[in-house]
Structure 1
Amino acid sequence: MTKLVFWHGWGMSPDVWTDFMKDLCEVLSGDTVYEAMPLPGYAGTGLPDGDSLSSWVDALMEGMPEPIVLCGWSMGAVLALSAACRYPERIERLVLFGATPCFVERHGWQAGMSQESARHFRDGVRADPVATLRRFVALFNRQDKQARAIVRRLSGLDIPPSPVLDAGLDFLDRADFRSLVPHIRQKVLLVHGENDPLMPPDAALWLAENLPDATLEILPDVAHAPFLSDSRQCARFVGAFLGD
């Protein structure tokens, strides 16, 4: 039996995985188990105490002793990189959509959001989280072949409380897992959109070059949500990866 666990992105919901899991059922064996988890603070869960860089992963992995295939998107993918190092015995493989080891630009890292843009975005979330989140969804799907459908899909999700959004932005502002990446020994599948404006393809290329065992698939005409833009192709990628 294979268990796939899914971690969603900032401001989103476990429901983003629903259609993709249906397509995975078409390509994976019938004894595969699927679990879409809420990130800390989402879907009525609480924010854990302590440093978010470690406590969030610890909270997500609590009560999960059996080995899993961990699938993460965006912020969920960033968390998954940390989890692979903190819990190597519990994570068999990683499947990462729109991943980056470092969300914000800093010394030696230009494949991220500028510090100024990150500050403006946080100010917008604090002033009007609903409007800012809608603009955010439209922005990261702007150059996707399925942009309208994806925006409609994501705009209908429940929005978490403002303190949860703010805590997530704090996590993303501080997270820099580049030093961890060479120590991740699990096989990793990276799926990235060629037109991703949020996590540039250069971030995926860096991961592919620095992870010890990674496969990179870049989808043309796709932005930040590959598994929503081309769900069936992404399911085929995962099926081939797990069958390897």
Structure 2
Amino acid sequence: MARPIHGTPRLASGPLAVSQRHYRFVQSFPSGSRGWAVSKIASTMSDGSTRPIEIGMVSGWSYSESVFDPLRRELPNVSTVAYDWSCFAAQWLDDAPQGARPEPDAWLGWSLGGALLLEALRRGRIAPERLILLNATPRFLDAPGWRGVPEPEWRALRRAVVRDPEPAVSAFRRRFELPNPVDGSSRRAELADVSGLDWLARLDLRSWLQEVATPVECWLAPDDPLVPADWPSRLALSLQVRCHRLPGRGHASWWHRPAELAARLSDR
């Protein structure tokens, strides 16, 4: 039994790929909505003073927190703290959370990191002012009327990771043109733990997104081989959920073009 989980531009085909369909994105927030103005974020304290709002970031499966380094460099006026997915889950999702630090004011999660944030919000483990999801979906696997990764392909990846995680992760990243940063992490085996894949298979938050009360921003990209960009059109989403187009295409375009994402977030 797996241990409890801790906390590219070309369209791929075959294993672990989903077909794509055009989806019309919201290009701006509706009048009166609160944007995520990263260059101006501040919170009013009880004494009337202000402080920068802190943004927590959660990585995708197999990645350390350093995957956010390019984006964090483009947000020099914002206080940020980054977690790999396993550390986040250990601190906010385990049955006996491991002494979570004070929660950031807002959270941003990529891929699995976004799904874990949604689950933590559903459980009441986090209570941010805003949630920002990059290339994330409320249900990773396909289902009747729902396009996602076929379960047999997910199982094939899981078996490959159990056999030998490093080559399995390398092949996974090459296939989907995902970033392969050199971060020197000594925790590569833990970051590629199959429990992360089990989270992806287990979570189904579609119905919950119909009633979520926290503002949620979904940033999606066309030709994402793992997360269909049109999934919001298949749900009756809460009015608190807004969808936006990421610059570029694929499952990690934001990583390749962090300045564009930072600028677009700053414009909101």
Q: TM-score range by the shorter chain?
A: 0.7 to 0.9
Letter in 2 for 1:21: R
**Quick check: 1:126–1:162 contact (8 Å CA) kept in 2?**
no
Q: Answer yes or no: is 1:126 the counterpart of 2:162.
A: yes
Gaps of 5+ in 2: 1-51
Q: Aligned in 2, Cα 1:198/1:83: closer, same or farther, shift over 3 Å?
A: same
Name the structure where helix makes up a greater proportion of residues.
1
Question: Matches of 1:7 and 1:160 in 2, distance apart?
Answer: 16
Higher RCO, 1 vs 2 (CA within 8 Å, ≥6 residues apart): 2
Please say which structure displays the higher CA radius of gyration.
2
In structure 2, the partner of 1:214 is 241
Superposed CA RMSD in Å reads: 3.0
Show CA shifts across 1:33-80 (max 9, x none). 1100122259xxxx759xxxx834974893325x51100000000011
Contact 1:192 1:204 survives alignment (8 Å)? no
Matches of 2:187 and 2:238, distance apart in 1 = 33
Counterpart CA distance in 2 for 1:198 and 1:158 is 27
2 CA distance for matches of 1:55 and 1:73?
Answer: 17
Name the CA distance, whole Å, in 1 between partners of 2:233 and 2:190: 33
Shift of 1:129: 1.0
Write the deviation string for residues 138-176 of structure 1: whole angstroms up to 9, x where unpaired: 2222xxxxxxxx544369766632696111111111111
How many angstroms does 1:204 deviate by? 4.8
**Which of these residues, 66, 71, 94, is aligned with residue 108 of structure 2?**
71
Worse-matched range after superposition: 13-22 or 177-186:
177-186
Residue of structure 2 in register with 1:86 after alignment: 123
Q: Distance in 2 between matches of 1:192 and 1:60?
A: 32
Partner of 1:138: 174
Aligned residues: 217
Is residue 2:217 matched to residue 1:181?
Answer: no
Deviation track 1:179-206 (CA, whole Å, cap 9, x = no partner) reads: 2112222222222221110111123544
Distance 1:17 1:163 in 2: 15
Counterparts of 1:218 and 1:161, CA distance in 2: 33
Cα distance in 2 for residues equivalent to 1:201 and 1:193:
6
Which ranges in structure 1 are unaligned for 5 or more consecutive residues?
142-149
Q: Equivalents in 1 of 2:227, 2:186: separation in Å?
A: 23
Letter of the 1:226 partner, please give it.
Answer: S
Partner of residue 266, structure 2: 239
